[in-house]
Structure 1
Amino acid sequence: MAKYLQVALNVPLNQTFTYLNIEPSGISRIGCRVEIKFGARKTKGCVVGEFENLPTDFPIEESKIRPITKVIDEKPLLTPELIELAFWVSKYYICAIGEAVSAMLPSAKRETDAGGFSFVDEISSEKAAVLSEEQEKAVKEILSPESKTNLHYLYGPTGTGKTEVFLQCAQKILDQKKGVIYLVPEIGLTQQVIEAVVKRFGQTAAVLHSGLTPSQKLSEYHRILNREARVVIGARSAVFAPVPDLGLIIIDEEHDGSYKSGSTPRYHARQVAMYRCKKQKIPLVMGSATPSVEAWYLMNKKTIARHTLSKRLAGGKMPQIKTVDLKNEPADTLCISRELEHEINQTLAEKKQTILFLNRRGFTHFYRCRSCGFELKCKNCSVSLTYHKTENRLRCHYCGWSTTPPQQCPQCGSLDAGYSGFGTEFIESEVKAKFPNAKIVRMDTDNLTKKGELQEKINAFKNNEYDIMLGTQMVAKGLNFPNLKLVGVILADTALHLPDFRSAERTFSLITQVAGRAGRFFPDGKVLVQTYSPEREPILFSVNNQTQKFYEMEINNRRMLNFPPFCRLVRLVFRAPTEKQAVEAAEGASSILRNELYALYNQKISPDFTQEQKNKVASTEILGPAECPLSKISGSFRWQLILKGQDITILQKAAAGLFYNYSRPTDVYIETDVDPVNLL
């Protein structure tokens, strides 16, 4: 038994803490949670190391080392592989080791019945489908020991059978007595994939989802560790599942932004999966109809092997896609063009279904004065307020603050002020007026309040209880509706105007994904894309199904502007209660970063740097300080710095020097984001 335990705590400090092991057992405690006293409070930590003797340079007297209070877990929850992974996450994403460990662990002390199958009504082992020639080839190549890379990409339009390839790859790995992790973007929106996994693998599947209580999640962890569950399906954090003898990781809808964590540690599940697979020497297979630009670039370089599926399997053809130029519509047109109205009427007459998609919540976009141009924004956040008709209030979708609409412009007093743009509530009222006999269901986060309501509405639409579904991006992901004929994109331009270098990619992906819902089971599906910018490439190329052209254009643009995948980024956001504090913190950090880069170049930090690495240090840029596009959220002012360079390790060393050595003012919080996916 080791005398001393090295304990990681969920605190933002770059260190572990040493405690005395009071429970002699002869069993290693590495990976177990322990209860300890930290200062005056009782808390939990995880043992990440143990040793018999203190190091000679140990800074505390042996007599002052506190004992642990108790060991929480009889058996370790984290394997040695996961503890090593936690140290890598801590170093790569520049966060405390305790924060990295905490992201991997369930928080409960005792377990209860998992109820992990709350998403499926019945559990049965379903037989595998007969694969097409393309699918068979993909399975064989992905799992081939002769493959030149362990990174694989299953690329093909929606409806070409990617899920079945994933399932059959998983089955072959299970046959080798190994485990599988299957990642999906958001559990609530990928119901059909989860059902397919659970039906195929029955009780040997574990579903890790946000609906589980901490106790249920702990129960699932024990099922996984005890090899009772061998296929783990879940969202982002399931990439840390403690699967013994891991043999394969699958990432469905690889392009999806929800794989990137929005809080510390700001890890990307794809990057973590790549690291785990490389260390374990096992395949990683990703898939999407719209790969991220970075993934497409790596496929072209043959770093990732591409496996293409081209044929829709349910008998449907790719839908007919067409743009409607809103600039040509009459002045009194609200949000549904004449052509879209005609197509909806025709679809209703055929007893088929329609989805209307808008990437926007609320009743209208924003309050705007037509005389002086004044826009009404949130007092806490620098974003436009959204009008909600049912409660007659303007509401902020970042911090929740709301106010009643003014009768006249607060700036110039003009009465010629009102609402520009439209949201799902506005569309709902217009659709009800134009199609009074249609049964309509609306799906966005404002009107889905009860637990299970999302699934109820999806099932009802699938069972033809509704004619028209209105929704935000939640209707764009992975949903198959056999009777769906028409998809209308109400306004395709929304994401194009965001100040982010990925806005074109997001617009292309969204239109392509939404369009993929139509006509999957019969040959005459239609998609109408309403836009004020039909000539803009992301819209033009998605509508004309010119995927190759879009990626070529976007990669060339990124190359010219030196954005990923041609450089790496680290984003530092400084949040403070006053703008002055945020600006001063960002400016102070900027000079520290310049000193760090100077020290790196002169080999004071890394004496072993080669001339090539020194050249990369010299070409590293510090962009900013600048106000964040969303310059105020929840009462905090936000300024940012962006480190941009060719070598991620150089950016990480400079940022880590700032993170660990900079004494920031107490009111200032620094967010460190390595490989950010959005710059808002």
Structure 2
Amino acid sequence: MAAEFIEVVFNLPLKSCFSYRLPEGEERKAADLIGCRVSAPFGRRNLNGWVISASDSLPEAVQEAKAVLRILDTQPLFGQDLLDLAGWISEFYLCSLGEALSVMLPGGKKEKNLPPLGLSPEDELHKRVVLSSEQEDALRQITQSSESYHYLYGITGSGKTEVFLRVAEEVLAQGKTVLFLVPEISLTHQMVDDLTGRFDKKPAVLHSHLTPSQKLTEWRRIQSGDATIVLGARSAVFAPLKNLGLIILDEEHETSYKSGSTPRYHGRQVAMKRCKMSGAKLLMGSATPSVESWAMMEQGVFQKRLLKERPAGGALPDIKILDLKKSKSLLSQELIRAMDRVLKEGKQVILFLNRRGHSYYFHCRSCGFEMKCRQCSIPLTYHKHRNRMICHYCGYQVKPLTLCPDCGSMDVGYAGFGTEQVEEQVAAIFPDSTLARLDTDSARKKGVLQETITQFRDGHIDILLGTQMVAKGLNFPGVKLVGIVLADTGLSLPDFRAAERSFSLIVQVAGRAGRYRNDGEVLVQTMRPDNPAIVYGCQGNIEAFYKFELNQRKEMGFPPFSRLIRIVYRGKDGRKVLEALEELTQLFRQAGLPDVMGPAECPLGVISGNHRYHTLIRSEDDFSGIHRITASLLSHSDVPRGIYREIDIDPVQLL
């Protein structure tokens, strides 16, 4: 008898799967529906779920099964390989199978045509460059090695992308497929340009700015074999490529490879697992590897391939630290003079500040009152062009005040500065230069990001001011000067990775200067000129920084010398949240977990009106054993009503 029943999972935090009958008149066999989406009655609701198995009988515990309402896909969206990967994600990141499948391909009812991508093949970007002997060596080592995990570690501008593309060409020539991951959507535009014309088939693109229907269209292109190379941000790691031969993970150090919602997967870990399952190679690259990856290179887990030179010419820029404590303005006289000189030479300037808005807090000079978000435990940021105080965590907005709500004083003002205020000052000092700002506020409008980057690359913009969007992977031949307006914005964060992130940003931003010339300059303004992350970052002394940072981590028992599991409880009633987490934490201790820290209030104690507390479980050797005990305790402990639980395996930040 043909299989008639199907097992379905939903995007809910439920470990169970649910039995259903096929709808009346369905001609396909149940086994052919594995990997398809269905609409099915669930309690009082109708939900979309995933078919994960088929059977000709119901499980013993199930007496009868309702029929699914309809089958949403003509062909399965997932093959067995991706169903197996979802099973691993569910097990490792402690989420349900339905949550794992849903993060792989969200939404999308019908398929939609995508606009054409990239430039024409005649564009000068696609001319093949001659590899340096260093690049040739790296290419040979990677392609001829039987090892699975490779790390291309090289200074900014050392030609890592060209090596990536040559390895990809070799893999495609063997009839295999390639997955190319970048950390930011802004970088997909440049990579599409680089890939178009280089390869016979147009790359498929997967990222969060596509509508669900567009994403589904690309998904089907990949499944059909029409696209043999896929480019995308984090979630593209799930692309349904057959015969996968290579995953490239560019700018491996970027924290955006880690998901901020359930399941909290890391793109690097998932890529490693996919390569293991499919026999493909993983090729990572960065000028500033994450501390964990550096340690894995030292241990030989990742094969280190080194690039020390800039093949396009261009020496590493001259980097100078400017002590901002000696300046009365947020733009020091030395930075202003350097900008003036470079602009008069007809060259371009990038200014970097990792803080958007105009001023980042409002305070009363009489009583010290500080205006915080009414729903979060952080100060509101003043956005002058919108005349609003805005919370960057929950989006709460309020009009700026002219009187202190505590003491009634009119002696109130704004302190700190963001990209808007820097933009004002630069426009006043250099009125004849073309200036563009690139941050999440300005890039919200569709097409602005790509248009600004293209305009700057073509020389129509003299000064580009931006946040992290301008720091990563972008190449602008006309840039001679890079100014980091304040290098220590991230150093004060209560997070063990704060120094690593600050160091990485300095090196990456500095790498935008002098990529095609020998006279690049970088000026780094800071309130902490003696901080090791800033000193080593400005010296470009990578080895010394990692040695220093690894010693710090070893002393504190933080990764890579341990692994962490973080449990966050959040809810409207802070007392209830803390009590619930205390109860769970007690269970961890009673189970004999050796190193349990907490519960404690999260550094960001309230977000969107939810009080947040966390407990950390640390493992120095037996991670799989500790993971197993934690998983068992979590699956047997109920979360009280009105409280939400977040589970983060190997967290990249503790805020």
Whether the aligned pair in 1 keeps the contact of 2:120 and 2:196 (CA below 8 Å) is no
The alignment status of 1:679 with 2:654, answered yes or no, reads yes
* RMSD (CA atoms): 1.8
Instruction: Map 1:554-569 to 2 at 5 A.
Output: 554-569=549-564
Cα distance in 1 between the residues matched to 2:267 and 2:42? 31
Counterpart pick for 1:351 among 322, 335, 346: 346
Query: Cα–Cα, structure 1 residues 6 and 506, in superposed 2: closer, same or farther, change >3 Å?
Result: same
Percent pairwise identity? 49
Once residues 421 and 578 of structure 1 are traced to their aligned partners in structure 2, the CA distance between those partners, rounded to angstroms, is 32
1:665 Cα deviation from its structure 2 partner: 1.8
Q: Which residue of 2 aligns with 1:602?
A: none
The alpha-carbon distance between structure 1 residues 54 and 392, as it changes in their structure 2 partners (threshold 3 A), is closer
Question: What's the counterpart of residue 32 of structure 1?
Answer: 36
Q: Quote how far apart the aligned CAs of 1:503 are.
A: 0.1
What is the CA deviation profile of residues 105-149 of structure 1, one whole-angstrom value per residue up to 9, with x for unaligned ones? Answer: 25223212233x44x1435694543222111111221122x43x3
Partner SS for 2:12: coil
CA distance in 2, matches of 1:500, 1:650: 26
Q: Where do 1:65-144 residues align within 5 Å?
A: 65-115=65-115, 117-118=116-117, 120-122=118-120, 126=126, 128-144=128-144
Deviations 1:341-380 (A, max 9, x none): 1101101110111111101011112123445543221111
Residue 450 (structure 1) aligns with: 445
Match of 1:46 in 2: 50
Matched with 2:374 is: 379
Corresponding position: 1:19 with 2:17: no
Report what 1:662 is aligned to: 637
Q: Deviations over 1:612-659 (max 9, x none)?
A: xxxxx4xx3211111111111111111111111123323433432343
Cα distance in 2, alignment partners of residues 520 and 98 from structure 1? 46
**Matched residue, 1:315:** 313
SS at 2:180 equivalent: strand
Are the aligned partners of 1:93 and 1:267 in contact in 2 as well (CA < 8 Å)?
yes
SS of structure 1 residue aligned to 2:235:
helix
Instruction: Give the Å deviation of 1:438.
Output: 1.5
- Once the two structures are TM-superposed, the CA of residue 413 in structure 1 deviates from its matched residue by 5.0
- Per-residue deviation, 1:2: 2.1
CA–CA separation in structure 1 for the residues paired with 2:40 and 2:551: 55
Secondary structure of the corresponding residue to residue 494 of structure 1: coil
Point out the more displaced range, 498-507 or 358-367.
358-367
Is this contact kept in 2: 1:163–1:193, CA < 8 A? no
Amino acid at match of 1:361: R
SS at match of 1:585: helix
1:570/1:651 contact within 8 Å kept:
no
Residue matched to 1:643: 617
The 1:312/1:384 distance shift into structure 2, 3 A limit, reads same
For 2:176, the equivalent position in structure 1 comes to 178
Q: Which amino acid aligns with 1:522?
A: R
Q: Which runs of 5+ in 2 are unaligned?
A: none
Structure 1 SS opposite 2:54: strand
CA deviation map 1:146-182 (0-9, x unaligned): 43x3110001111111111111111111111111111
Equivalent in the alignment of 1:2: 3
For 1:431 and 1:472, locate their aligned partners in 2 and report how far apart those are by CA, in whole Å: 15
Shift of 1:430: 1.0
C-alpha contact (below 8 Å) 1:124/1:202 kept by paired residues: no
1:327 maps to 325
1:188-203 pair list within 5 angstroms: 188-203=186-201
Give the superposition deviation at 1:202. 4.7
Note if contact 2:6-2:53 (Cα within 8 Å) is conserved in structure 1: yes
Q: Distance in 1 between matches of 2:602 and 2:213?
A: 39
Q: Distance in 1 between the 2:488 and 2:202 partners? A: 44
Matched, 1:503 2:498: yes
- Report how far residue 462 of structure 1 moved: 1.4
Q: How far apart are the structure 2 equivalents of 1:284 and 1:480?
A: 24
Deviation at 1:538, TM superposition (A): 0.3
Deviation at 1:32, TM superposition (A): 1.8
TM-score (structure 2 length as normaliser): 0.95
- 1:609 aligned residue: none
* 8 Å Cα contact 2:207/2:235 also seen in 1: no
- Aligned residue in 2 for 1:552: 547
Q: Which amino acid aligns with 1:66?
A: K
CA contact (8 A) 2:577 2:613 kept: yes
Alpha-carbon distance in 2 for matches of 1:142, 1:411: 64
Match 1:300 to one of 294, 298, 301: 298
Residues 393, 215 of structure 1: alpha-carbon distance in 2 compared, 3 angstrom cutoff: closer
For 2:196, what is the secondary structure of its paired residue? helix
Structure 2 residue matching 1:343: 3-state secondary structure: helix
TM-score (norm 1): 0.92
Distance, in Å, in 1 between the alignment partners of 2:162 and 2:395 is 41
- Is 2:59 the partner of 1:60? no
1:439 Cα deviation after fit: 1.4
Rounded to whole Å, the distance in 2 between the matches of 1:203 and 1:325 is 51
Task: Tell me if the contact between 1:344 and 1:354 (Cα under 8 Å) persists in the aligned partners.
Answer: yes
Q: In structure 1, list runs of 5 or more residues that go unmatched.
A: 599-616
Give the secondary structure class of the aligned counterpart of 1:511.
helix
Equivalences for 1:185-584 in 2 at 5 Å? 185-329=183-327, 333-413=328-408, 415-584=410-579
Q: Distance in 2 between matches of 1:625 and 1:447?
A: 39
Distance 2:127 2:335 in 1: 41
> Aligned in 2, Cα 1:25/1:124: closer, same or farther, shift over 3 Å?
farther
What is the DSSP-based 3-state SS (H/G/I as helix, E as strand, rest coil) of the residue aligned with 1:461?
Answer: helix
What secondary structure does 2:215 align onto? helix
For the 8 Å contact 1:114–1:217, the answer to whether it is kept is no
Aligned to 2:589: 594
Pairing 1:630–2:604 present:
yes
- Judged with a 3 Å threshold, the aligned counterparts in structure 2 of structure 1 residues 391 and 187 are, in CA distance, closer, same or farther, namely closer
Q: SS in structure 1 opposite 2:270?
A: helix
CA distance in 1, matches of 2:386, 2:42: 47
Which whole-Å deviations, capped at 9, do the CAs of 1:313-360 have from their partners, x for residues lacking one?
22211110000011222xxx2210010011011011101111111010
Aligned to 1:601: none
DSSP-derived class of the 1:203 partner: coil
| Larger mean Cα displacement after TM superposition, 383-392 or 24-33 | 24-33
Q: Which moved more, 1:296-305 or 1:579-588?
A: 579-588
- Equivalent position amino acid for 2:12 in 1: V
State how far apart, in whole Å, the 2-side matches of 1:66 and 1:136 are.
Answer: 61
- The runs of 4+ residues in structure 1 deviating greater than 6 Å are none
Q: Distance in 1 between matches of 2:625 and 2:379?
A: 38
Distance in 1 between the 2:138 and 2:277 partners? 23
- Between Structure 1 and Structure 2, how many residues are aligned? 648
